[in-house]
Amino acid sequence: MRQRSTTGSTARTGIPNRARRFGPRGRAGATAALAVLAVTTAAGCRAEATGSAPAARPSSPRATASDDGRSSPPPSPTTPAPPSPSSSPPSSSPTATTSPTPKPDPQGKTLMSSGSQGGQVRELQARLRQIGHFDRSPTGYYGTVTVAAVQSFQGKRGLSRTGRTDTLTWQKLLGMTHRPTATELNPPTTRPVAKPDKRCLTGRVLCISKNSRTLSWMIDGRVLSSMDVRFGSQYTPTREGTFSVYWKSRHHVSTIYDTPMPYAMFFSGGQAVHYSADFAARGYNGASHGCVNVRDEGKIASLFDQVKTGDKVVVY
C-alpha cells in the first residue's frame, strides 16, 4: 500500500519523492528540473488539433517606394489624401465665359473700303480731288492710293485714320465739296494729251504716246476718247512701232503670269492693251511686263467694243 501511494504522488506532481525526503536541497533540484522542462517545451512545434487547418497569418500591405527612393507604406484606399494647403478647392460647376459685346464704331457703318469699285468710289475720288487729297483722275477702284487719300482727309478732320469711308467720313466730305461734274468724274486723262504722231492721222488708230503716257482712240485724225496708260519696265519694255490688233479677249488671263488681263487687245506677240487693276490701285508706282495698261475700266470697256481686229496700233 505504501509503494502505490508513492507512485501516485510522483505522477501527480512530477517531483520524485526523493526530493521531498531530502528537504530544501531536494526541492531546489526539483525546481531546476521544471525550468529545463519549460525551455524544452517552448523550443518545439506548437501542438495543433488533429484535422484542423493551420491558422491564416494576417497579411500586411506591401511596402511601396516613395519619391525619394525610400520604402513607405501605401496610402489607405478608403482614406482620401488631404488637399494641399496651397491648392484651391475644386469649383462645384464650370464658370460660363461670355464674350464681351462689341462696341459700335463711333464713326458709323463702313460704306466703302479697299477693293470696292463702282460709281460711288469714283464720286469719292472726285470729291477728294476737289480739296487736294486725291491727285489723279477718278478710276472707280478703291486701292492703296484711295486708302491713303481717305486717311489724309480723316487726319485733317480729327477722325480715326482707318482709310475706310464710313458714315461720318462721308458726311464730312459731302459737306465740304460739291457734286462732281461729268468732266470731274470722267476726265479724259490726268495729263495733257500729246500731239498725235503723223502715223495716227489716217484710218482707225490706237495712238499711244510714251512721252505723255496717254492713249487716244482716233478715226481719220479725230480724237474720240483718251485715257491714261502705263508701260513695261526697263527689263520688259513695251515695243515701239506700227502694229495692228490681231486678237481680242474680253476676259483674258495671262498664261505666263496667271494675272487677269480684261479687255485685252493684242498687237505684238504677248503684248496687248488691257485694263489693269494694279494700275488703278497703285498708279505709276508700278509697271507692266510689256503691255499697255489702262486704269479706267469704263473707258477701256467702251474702247474694246469699238476697236475691230485689224485696226492700227501706233506706239511712239
Distance, in Å, from the CA atom of 253 to the CA atom of 261, rounded to the nearest integer, reads 5
Q: What pLDDT is stored for residue 51 in this prediction?
A: 42
Which residue reads 519619391 in cell numbers? 67
Q: Are strands 214-219 and 292-294 parallel, antiparallel or unpaired?
A: unpaired
Determine contact, residues 264/290, Cβ cutoff 8 Å.
Answer: no
The DSSP bridge partners found for residue 130 are none
When computed from its CA atoms, the radius of gyration of the chain, rounded to whole angstroms, is 56
Q: What pLDDT is stored for residue 213 in this prediction?
A: 95
What pLDDT, in 10s, does the model give residues 92-143? 555 556 666 666 677 889 999 999 999 999 999 999 999 999 988 888 999 9
Which residue reads 490726268 in cell numbers? 190
Residues of the chain with pLDDT under 50: 1-16, 18-22, 30, 32-56, 58-74, 86-87
Cβ-defined contacts of 272-280 (< 8 Å, 24+): 273/206, 273/208, 273/215, 273/229, 273/300, 273/303, 273/313, 274/300, 275/300, 275/301, 276/230, 277/141, 277/143, 279/230, 280/139, 280/140, 280/141, 280/143
Q: What pLDDT is stored for residue 134 in this prediction?
A: 93
C-alpha closest to that of 316 among 229, 221, 241: 241
End-to-end CA distance of the chain: 168
Distance, in Å, from the CA atom of 8 to the CA atom of 17, rounded to the nearest integer, reads 10
Q: What pLDDT is stored for residue 36 in this prediction?
A: 43
The number of CA neighbours under 13 Å toward the Cβ of 114 is 12
Q: What pLDDT is stored for residue 99 in this prediction?
A: 64
Query: For the whole model, what pTM was predicted?
Result: 0.48
Tell me the CA distances in angstroms from 113 to 124, 131, 141, 169, one per residue in order: 11, 20, 10, 12
The number of CA neighbours under 13 Å toward the Cβ of 81 is 6
Phi-psi region of 134 (alpha: psi -120 to 50; beta: other; left: phi over 0): beta
